[in-house]
A and B are shown apart, each in its own frame.
Chain A
Amino acid sequence: MNHSQSSAGLILTTDGIPLKISLKKAERVNKIRAFLLVSPLLIFILVTFLIPIGDMLARSIDDRQINTVFPKTFEVYKKWDRQGLPSEEVYKTMFFELKNSEGYSVGKASTRMNYSKSGWKSLLKKSKRKFKKIEEGPFKEKMIAIDKKWGDREYWLALGQMVDPTTMGYYLNAVDLKYDSNKNIVQQKENRRIYNKTWIKTFKVSVLVTLFCLLLGYPISYLLATLPMKYSNLLMICVLLPFWTSLLVRTVAWMVMLQQKGVFNNLMVMAGLIADENRWQLMYNQTAVVIVMTQILLPFMVLPLYSVMKTISPTYMRAALNLGASPLHAFYKIYMPNSIPGVSAGCLLVFILAIGYYITPELVGGKDGQMVGNWIAYHLKTTLNWGLCAALGAILLAMMTALYWAYNKIVGIENIKLG
């Protein structure tokens, strides 16, 4: 080591540059070339995929929307000491800002205000209509005369949550918490606690699906890995065909299988195992979600398991048997420890994919089988509460990233195989 270091300075290339520098230069050119090849895709992914995701993350804490509608009100609001009702000045600025604002932006702002305290939306709508007739003060009395809510301190306190341009409110909502009127974090009302249940349900379904995939996938991977190639190639098609078949097609197929008059129930009735009138309710509940997702994600368990098991030499087992171990003991002591990398790869992959599922729970889950993904879609499409939608998405994404990181550490992302 020492020798090469001391002599490195002396070795010169034909142009008279020290070899080390020359090599480094060549290395750098190679690095830049390699990077240039990757850069088009990197930029593409950045623009079409990563920036949109970042935009969603920004939206989960963004609370500026309302500040652009009532900027002056918030300025004077900050001076309020939160004792009694706000001053006439606050009422006055609120009055004019509401009166002169566009209906569209008020609608958006009032939706946001309603998240902090329900009642704001109807209050603003009603007031904006009636404000047209009022020309001059005193605004405080006149506004309270229009609606008693203007004289309710709770409503004014709720505004305090929106003064800052950012909020953690959506994240709190996503785990069944909220700010109270004094900006303390409290639990949601009993009947509005839905998200913690949904998170638990999502985990439960994903764990069950992962477990069932392992239970079903391990034996067949073992079979595939130990059969001679000509048979295993044929059986492999049974694993790969579902992998290649449209997700919707498979979901439709399961609807045909599991519905009340579906194939499964028909067979059971025909076999006399259940009576015609009390057929099993297999569709539109969590059971359906677990069954269908297990079948859909099973190939993602089998492929990593198979590729690991393929590398376990059959001579290990033979040696163990030769040394007097019973087949079960040999399997438990020799084969299973060797297949653990495949198990962890498969389980992580299935769990990662299961936790964000949306289509299958939506179609076969009914009310009982809705997962977090479905709530994200619901808020995106139906309630338009995009802040909450983004917060739910961000939490889910954080979990995914942690799992993905673990996967990368344990398996190495470059080892993902497709068929």
Chain B
Amino acid sequence: MALPAYATTGQRIGYYSFLTYCALVFFFLIAPIFIILPLSFSASPFFEFTREFMNFEPEAWSLRWYRQMVGISSIGDTTVVSNKWMLGTRNSFFIGIIATLLATALGTVAALGLSRPHMPFKAVLMAILISPMIVPLIITAAGMFFFYSKIGLTHTYLGLILAHTALGTPFVVITVTATLTGFDTNLIRASQSLGADTMRTFFKVIMPLILPGVISGGLFAFITSFDEVVIVMFVGSVEQITIPKQMWAGLRQETSPVILCMATCLVALSIALLTTVEMLRRRSERLRGIKQR
């Protein structure tokens, strides 16, 4: 969409103001995420850019909040070890990974069924399976709190894992179904006519082709679980700390810059995940022969 050589002055002004506007919107989208990176290295206990910090004075920059995050902090001469953040990290990964594996397995199989041409009630089923993504988390949390407390699943890891699995499956269903559009079913027939059984066909023919979709769906499910706080707060117990829950507590009670350190780590994680998913998406498009315009 370049400007043609014969553009009038008015058109030029319009075009450049449009570009400026877009630049501002992109800035609005991305700036808040990066503003916290430098601030996490500040020695100040408040979320603010002090004058000393801006002038790069060495004593205003520090790694003390990172030390505190990994569980080492010193008050005076004594070293205090508080490992709430590390406990949270462990729990987040534990819940996240198991929920992701479950969600990926259930979601992939369901997507395979949904993509079959003979699927009855496809639209209704799809709407039901996607609904955990659409229903507000607070309603989901309320319902799960009421029901899980009846069957004794509140304050257990199993309850949290099941809840997070339910939240993660729509993403897997969506990405795998998207990968399966344009899937050449003749490949399955070819494999079967050459003597492979259902399992072998699945692992040797279908799986390699849909793997990019499966992995990106899994990553979506993981980040959903990893970022989820409302259900952890209502269904989990006080001791079941996860990273977002600890951040929440930090924001509500003891506004500590350790939150910024953890936020920086999470931004790094999301960049890593985003890069992976983008690479997978391109690979998948290449595999399926969808050309980039």
User: Interface of A with B (CB < 8 Å)?
Assistant: 27, 30-31, 33-38, 40-42, 44-45, 48-56, 59, 216-217, 219-220, 223, 226-227, 229, 235, 237-242, 244-257, 259, 261-263, 266, 295, 298-299, 314, 327, 352-353, 355-359, 363, 373, 376-377, 380-381, 386, 389-390, 393, 396-397, 400, 404, 408, 412-414, 416-419
Contact = CB atoms under 8 A, between A and B. Distances in A.
- 7 cross-chain pairs, A with B, having the tightest CB-CB distances, nearest first: A356-B136, A37-B113, A226-B1, A52-B143, A52-B147, A41-B110, A253-B32
Given A256-B39, A262-B47, A404-B131, A240 B142 contact: no
A180 B116 CA distance: 57
A241 B272 CA distance: 10
B270 A245 contact: yes
A40 B110 contact: yes
Contacts of B130: 413, 416
A414 B21 CA distance: 33
A40 B125 CA distance: 12
27 contacts: A27-B118, A33-B113, A33-B118, A37-B109, A37-B113, A41-B109, A44-B166, A53-B135, A59-B146, A241-B271, A246-B244, A248-B227, A250-B32, A252-B263, A253-B32, A259-B48, A262-B47, A295-B29, A327-B11, A353-B134, A359-B137, A373-B138, A381-B234, A386-B146, A418-B174, A419-B216, A419-B277
Contacts of B216: 418-419
Contacts of A44: 106, 165-166, 169
B30 A248 contact: no
Contacts of A255: 47, 251
Name which of A229, A235, A256, A356 has the most chain B CB atoms within 10 A of its CB: A256
Given A223-B22, A377-B138, A418-B175, 20 more contacts: A34-B116, A38-B114, A44-B106, A48-B162, A49-B166, A52-B140, A219-B25, A237-B274, A241-B30, A255-B47, A256-B32, A259-B48, A261-B48, A295-B28, A299-B29, A356-B137, A390-B142, A404-B127, A413-B123, A418-B171
> Chain B binding site: helix, strand, loop or mixed by DSSP?
helix
A239 B29 contact: yes
A31 B169 contact: no
Given A45-B169, A249-B36, A418-B171, A359 B140 contact: no
Given A35-B119, A52-B143, A248 B136 contact: no
Nearest to B24: A216
A352 B229 CA distance: 20
Nearest to A409: B123
B94 interface: no
A133 to B, nearest CB: 38
A248 B227 CA distance: 8
A141 B119 CA distance: 72
Contact of A33 (B39, B49, B116): B116
A183 B130 CA distance: 41
**Could you say which interface size class chain B belongs to?**
35 or more
B41 interface: no
B125 A38 contact: yes
Contacts of B174: 416-418
Contact of B129 (A30, A33, A41, A381): A41
A27 B109 CA distance: 20
Nearest to A317: B1
B128 A45 contact: yes
B177 interface: yes
B259 interface: yes
